[in-house]
Structure 1
Amino acid sequence: MLILILYFFIAIVAIQIAYYLGVFGKFAFAKAQKITPKKIAVSVIVCAKNEEENVAKYVPLLAEQNYPDFEIVLIDDASSDNTLELFEAFEQQYSNIRLVKVQNNEAFWGNKKYALTLGIKAAKKEYLLFTDADCFPTSKDWITAMSSQFTLHKTIVLGYGGYEKIANSFLNKIIRFETVLTAVQYFSWAKAGHPYMGVGRNLAYKKEEFFNVNGFINHIQVRSGDDDLFINEAANGKNTTIAYAPESFTYSAPKTTYKNWFTQKRRHVATAKHYKTIDQFQLGLFFSSQLLFIILAAILLAFQFQWILVLSLVGLRYLCAWITIGFSAGKLKEKDLKFWFPIVEIALVFTQLNVFFTNIFSKPVNWK
């Protein structure tokens, strides 16, 4: 039995190394990205529901971007706080702000995709740049950095949306590590010609891409997924690229309690089951190989079976993963995380396993 476990363990290590070096290495070892400004008109789209504190802080940062031709489309999704009043004040203050007021619709009650659709249709520019109401750009050149990656054929741009650091918080390290690992995955697969998701915190595409797939209609019944499900359907190797220059990043405040973060991850995992079959397979294979690597290594070492070989394989896998994560974290300005690997990885793997089983027995809550 132990010899069979050893053979299985060797196969799992091979799969992990193939992911980290063969796939994730496409992003980790890529050259630094240059920004060449493009003279294209951009509509920045922000959808908010009960976000008065965030929009008060972050809308001015968007309005003051250093870009020659852009508008901001603010979508109030039937807020019950002062979000709408703040949007109306910003509309008076900034000439390039356009306001879209969404009333609750019985057919699309509380559906963010319905609100976003109205905002996209209201946008006057052909190139759309999306962020969330609780996000802020890292510089006044965010629009420049994101739009610079558009070309005649590259009409979808995937960006990085990170989370702020909280000192002395292990949960914060797990959250940021998970965010980096997710970004490494969707950046790398996009560079490999097989994009499968993006994040609404930082995402851009030409308006025609939205109408080419009839917007969100094919997954309108799924409350979440206005970003990743749309990209999963609309993106391909020919029309998609990535933006990873530091000026292109956005950040938002992370969850500060495990319960709130766990709820957020439940929504994300529930949405992923609507991905294309091949994408579900590659994501499932990576997670399964992560989990099995930890479990099988523990079993073999507990019985001290071929322990020199097992430790060598464990070291090889962690070396490949650490190098890849280290270079990737450096590109994404998250260098401190490499010093916490693999502790945060182990914590994340078992959290994801908990999320998976929890979602089997109860349905996660979606848009506010």
Structure 2
Amino acid sequence: MLNIIFYVFVAVVVLQMVYYLVIYGKFAFAKPQDITTKKLPVSVIVCAKNDSENVKRLIPLLAAQNYPDFELVLIDNASSDDTLDVFEEFEQQYLNIRLVKVENNEAFWGNKKYALTLGIKAAKKEYLLFIDANCVPNSPEWIAHMASQFTMSKTIILGYAAYEKKKNSFLNKIIRYDGVLNATQYFAWAKAGRPFNGNGRNLAYKKEEFFKVNGYINHMKMHMGEDSLFINEVATPKNTAICYTPESFTYRESKKSFKGWIKEKRKKTYTASFFRSFDQLQIKAFYVSQLSFIVLAIVLAALQFNWMFLVPVIVLRYIISWVTMAQSAKRLQEKDAVYWYPVIEIILIFTQLYVNCTNLFSKQAHWK
């Protein structure tokens, strides 16, 4: 029986190696990205709801972008604070601002997808670039770098949406490593020809892609997934590219509490349950292999399986996965997020187990 368990353990490790080396390695060990400046017309879209303080910080940074042809489409999603007043002040200050005022609609009350749809229809430029109100671009070249990846065939660009570093916060390191892992997954699968996800905090696509599928119509009733579900629906090997130059990154503050982070992960996990079948399968297979690796390693060690066979397999797995994720983190300027990799990985594995179980037995109404 012990030998059978060990053989299963080895099979799990082999599957992990396929993920880390064959798939994630496509991004982690990729060459630095070349940038060719283009002058495509770009509409930067910001949708805000009760974000007056955040937009005061964001809009001047967007207005100062070093790019020849862009407009700012500012969407006030029926805010109850002074967000609209702030937007109107900026509208007077900058000539390239287009303001969209959204009033509550009985059928789409509080639905960000409805507000974004109005903003996209109002946009006058051919290419759309999205950033959330609580984010900031990493440089004045953000638009230029994201737009540089557009070609005649590549009409969807996936960018990296990072979290700001917070000193002396282990939770911040966990969240940032989780962000690195998520980005590595959707960047790597895109390079492998199976794009499946993107982050609306840093995402670009040609307007025609939106109208090809009638926007968010297939998941309009869900109050989440305006980025993930849309990309999962429209992204193909032919139309999707990635951008991972440091100048193209965006940043936002991470959750300050474990509870807030768990709620965010529950939303993402629930949204992923509506992905295409293959995408759900590859996500689940990776997670199951992670959990199985930990459980089987503990079982084999507890039953005193021959350490001369067990230890090398465990060490090999950790070396390959750690090196791959360290290289990916370095590329995304998150090197310190992998210093505690083995500990953080175990925390993430069992956090995800809790999230999966909670989502299975709990309603999602309070997420709206």
TM exceeds 0.5?
A: yes
Name the structure 2 match of 1:161.
Answer: 161
Structure 1 ranges of 4+ moved more than 2 A: 363-368
1:349 corresponding residue in structure 2:
349
Q: Is the CA contact 2:49–2:79 (under 8 Å) kept in the aligned structure 1?
A: yes
CA distance in 1, matches of 2:344, 2:93: 45
The residue that corresponds to 1:337 in the other structure is 337
Contact 2:325 / 2:338 at 8 angstroms: preserved in 1?
yes
Secondary structure, counterpart of 1:205 in structure 2: strand
Contact 1:65 1:140 in 2 (8 A): yes
SS in 2 for 1:226: coil
Q: Give the match for residue 80 of structure 1.
A: 80
Q: Distance in 1 between matches of 2:364 and 2:165?
A: 26
Contact residue 164 and residue 252 of structure 1 kept, 8 A: yes
Kindly tell me the number of residue pairs found equivalent between the two proteins. Answer: 368
Give the alignment's Cα RMSD to 1 decimal. Answer: 1.0
**Corresponding position: 1:99 with 2:99:** yes
Match of 1:136 in 2: 136
Aligned residue type for 1:218: N
Partner of residue 117, structure 2: 117
Question: 1:112–1:367: 8 Å Cα contact kept in structure 2?
Answer: no
> What is the Cα deviation at residue 317 of structure 1?
0.7
Match in the other structure for 1:7: 7
The farther-off stretch of 335-344 and 201-210 is 335-344
Which amino acid in structure 2 is aligned with residue 299 of structure 1?
V
1:27 match: 27
CA distance in 2, matches of 1:279, 1:312: 32
- Displacement of 1:363 in angstroms is 2.7
Gaps (5+ residues) in structure 1?
A: none
CA contact (8 A) 1:300 1:307 kept: no
Percentage of matched positions with identical amino acids: 62
Q: CA deviation at 1:183?
A: 0.2
* TM-score (normalised: structure 2): 0.98
Which residue of 2 is the match for residue 328 of structure 1? 328
CA contact 2:75–2:100 (8 Å) conserved in 1: yes
Matches of 2:83 and 2:107, distance apart in 1: 23
Alignment correspondent of 2:18 = 18
2:53 maps to 53
Residue 307 of structure 1: how far off its partner (Å): 1.9
Aligned partner of 1:248: which letter?
S
CA distance in 2, matches of 1:79, 1:215: 23
For residues 80-130 of structure 1, what are the alpha-carbon distances to aligned partners after superposition, in whole Å with 9 as ceiling and x for unaligned? 111111111111111111110101111111111000000000000000000
1:193 counterpart residue number: 193
Structure 1 length normalisation: TM-score? 0.98
The alpha carbon displacement at 1:366 in A equals: 6.9
Q: Distance in 1 between matches of 2:287 and 2:294?
A: 11
Matched residue, 1:250 = 250
Once residues 263 and 11 of structure 1 are traced to their aligned partners in structure 2, the CA distance between those partners, rounded to angstroms, is: 33
The change in CA–CA distance for 1:52 and 1:367 in structure 2 (over 3 A counts) is: farther
Q: Which SS does the other structure have where 2:13 is aligned? A: helix
Tell me the equivalent position of 2:364: 364
Q: What per-residue deviation string (whole Å, max 9, x for no partner) do you get for residues 221-248 of structure 1?
A: 2110000100000000000000000000
> Given residue 320 of structure 1, which amino acid in structure 2 is its aligned partner?
I
Secondary structure (helix, strand or coil) at the match of 1:72 reads: strand
1:292 Cα deviation (Å)?
0.6
Deviation at 1:365, TM superposition (A): 5.6
Question: 1:306 offset after TM fit, Å?
Answer: 2.2
**Separation of aligned partners in 1, 2:324 and 2:295:** 22
Secondary structure (helix, strand or coil) at the match of 2:136 reads: strand
Question: How many angstroms does 1:347 deviate by?
Answer: 0.6
Gaps spanning 5+ residues in structure 2: where? none
